[in-house]
Structure 1
Amino acid sequence: MVYGIMEFRGLVAVKPLELSRIIYSPGKKLFGVIINAANKPQVYSSIINLLAKYSILPTSLFLISEDNVAEIMWVLDFSNAKISVEKIGKEILDVEGVHNVKYIKPLLKSLLVDTYHFPLLVRGERACIFKKSVLRELFRDIKKRLGETGKIFLFYQGMEDGRNIFEDYRKYAKSNRGLLALFAEVVKAVGWGVVEYIETDFARKTFLLKIYECMECELCKPSKEPCGFFSKGIIAGLLSRIVNEEVEVHELMCIAKGDPYCLFRAGPRG
């Protein structure tokens, strides 16, 4: 499936992000170059000028800086380069402010894997990337093999995660409304979906929200019933902590059924 720029009613347009952990570009001569250098504009300018001088094209770039020192990982296309990766590495090392240069060679022709960075972290906590094909088997098999028990398991697992999310996000958000806004942005940032709040009534403790492109529900297409049990649990756990009362969550619409988005309604039990 090819993803382009997506627009959702009332929301800012979003564009897919290729994480560039594994890059396959047929016909291209790819190398990874990791540069440790002073975090100064003139350092970046000098490196860019060297790449231009030898007809080397950047394919992707990852940069992180700490204490005025930057680590830059470039994926570079040497298809039309007038120099070898080792020689350009030596010239980059001669740039004032550059401390060290390392290389990642292609694993196979036109296939480069980032073998330098491990483990992956999200705000200091270890994380792992699973492709949709792997997640599909995980979520679908739980429901298929365990039936209603599997659905209940996913819901309660989601509920526990929702409670943990509240405890984590309250460190940053100054209000419950701000916490919900942060939750929506993080859901999008991690690739789970795009949240739109239709109703947030903290006095009545009722909420209505849409999730566009919900990963969990996309995994179980096609379905005759809503299947966002894990997502529903997360919403229930989070909102229960926010309103300090157990809430019920119902999925009224679901993309797995062919609806344009998943719609969740939450409110007090009973």
Structure 2
Amino acid sequence: MPGQNEREAILPGVKRAHELPCGIWAPGRKLAQFCLTLKNIPGALAAVTKEVARHHVNILSGHITAVPGEERAYVTFFADLTEATAGPRELAEALKALDMVVEAEVLEAEVPGLIIDKVHFPLKFLGQDSVVLNIRMIGHMFSRLDEVFGTGASVILYEMGMRAGEVVARGVKAYGLDDLNTLKAIAALGVAAGWGVVEVVEWDPSSTRLVIRVYENFECKPIAGRRQRPHSHFVRGIIAGILKAITGAEVKVRETACMAKGDPYCEFVAEKASS
């Protein structure tokens, strides 16, 4: 696999990997998770981090949820208290005493050196309930379809992808975007969701012709260089579903390059289907 510098060179616009703040594995360290409700005003987060630093506690990762116009914001973070001058509960009380903090709760690691967020559920992605499946798991799932159904697996995956693409596109179009900006937004969502880095190479709305490249395509990444033919049937279906939802037209999608057969990216050409 390419290193970070190589990845930045081959993936358009990518800065670095995005590690979801779901847990920390640090053997020999004293770990805890803090969950805070804050006033949604400037300086609230600064007050929290200043108090944490005062006790020599190192914040490792976390997330912030704050909606403009709402009175409350929410912060949760994992922290290393190995060299701290206060225990986790003492620090929680100190944070709770801050004027900016409405509520403060701490959860300590149940397994030494390992803490996992088990108090935030369901997982949300842009307001939608979501799940996380790692690439290795997906690779085994799709490979099992091939083993059981043979060439029929490509049809199953394509149809699944088409329905998923329609759902995604309708959700994005609900924001009132035109066709081109809908495609751009979906491409950005693909990066944010970890599906791949999408580059729109060509879009001709008059003929409904679309050419896109997907770098690090999640469907083909587990089998990169191990197939003789293009293998991204699910993503091919997603593209067909997206275009159907955007334009109302039935399209035919061909995969002209594929990571599964050793290409640096998966490239798809979509054109209006012959009537």
- The Cα RMSD (Å) is 1.8
Secondary structure of the equivalent of 1:7? helix
Structure 2 residue aligned with 1:69 = 72
User: Which residue among 255, 261, 272 is the counterpart of 1:257?
Assistant: 261
User: Which residue among 196, 214, 239 is the counterpart of 2:217?
Assistant: 214
Do residues 56 (structure 1) and 57 (structure 2) align? yes
Do residues 245 (structure 1) and 246 (structure 2) align? no
C-alpha contact 1:107 1:113 (8 A) present in aligned 2 = no
Secondary structure of the equivalent of 2:66? strand
**Closer, same or farther: CA 8–251 of 1 in aligned 2, 3 Å:** farther
Structure 1 Cα separation of the partners of residues 18 and 52 of structure 2: 24
| More deviation, 134-143/183-192 | 134-143
Question: What fraction of aligned residue pairs are identical, expressed as a percent?
Answer: 26
Do residues 160 (structure 1) and 163 (structure 2) align? yes
Structure 2 Cα separation of the partners of residues 82 and 170 of structure 1: 52
Secondary structure of the equivalent of 1:75? strand
Structure 2 residue aligned with 1:4 = 4
Structure 2 Cα separation of the partners of residues 49 and 8 of structure 1: 37
User: Which residue among 107, 114, 118 is the counterpart of 1:104?
Assistant: 107
**Closer, same or farther: CA 99–230 of 1 in aligned 2, 3 Å:** same
Structure 2 Cα separation of the partners of residues 2 and 133 of structure 1: 17
Unaligned runs of 5+ in 2: none
Unaligned runs of 5+ in 1: none
Alpha-carbon shift at residue 248 of structure 1 (Å): 0.5
Deviations 1:76-103 (A, max 9, x none): 1111111111111111111113222111
Structure 2 Cα separation of the partners of residues 262 and 116 of structure 1: 38
User: Which residue among 130, 140, 143 is the counterpart of 2:143?
Assistant: 140
Alpha-carbon shift at residue 8 of structure 1 (Å): 5.5
Structure 2 Cα separation of the partners of residues 44 and 79 of structure 1: 22
Deviations 1:207-226 (A, max 9, x none): 21110000001123311111
**Closer, same or farther: CA 179–84 of 1 in aligned 2, 3 Å:** same
Q: TM-score, normalised by structure 2?
A: 0.92
Q: Which amino acid aligns with 1:246?
A: E
C-alpha contact 2:47 2:100 (8 A) present in aligned 1 = no
Structure 2 Cα separation of the partners of residues 164 and 171 of structure 1: 11
User: Which residue among 97, 113, 118 is the counterpart of 1:115?
Assistant: 118
Do residues 86 (structure 1) and 75 (structure 2) align? no
Alpha-carbon shift at residue 62 of structure 1 (Å): 1.1
Structure 2 residue aligned with 1:18 = 19
**Closer, same or farther: CA 2–100 of 1 in aligned 2, 3 Å:** farther
Secondary structure of the equivalent of 1:215? coil
Alpha-carbon shift at residue 21 of structure 1 (Å): 0.8
Alpha-carbon shift at residue 164 of structure 1 (Å): 1.6
Secondary structure of the equivalent of 2:220? helix
Structure 2 Cα separation of the partners of residues 149 and 69 of structure 1: 51
Alpha-carbon shift at residue 131 of structure 1 (Å): 1.4
Which 4+ residue blocks in structure 1 deviate beyond 6 angstroms? none
After TM superposition, the structure 1 = structure 2 runs for residues 32-51 of structure 1, keeping only pairs within 5 Å, are 32-51=33-52
Do residues 269 (structure 1) and 273 (structure 2) align? yes
User: Which residue among 165, 170, 178 is the counterpart of 2:173?
Assistant: 170
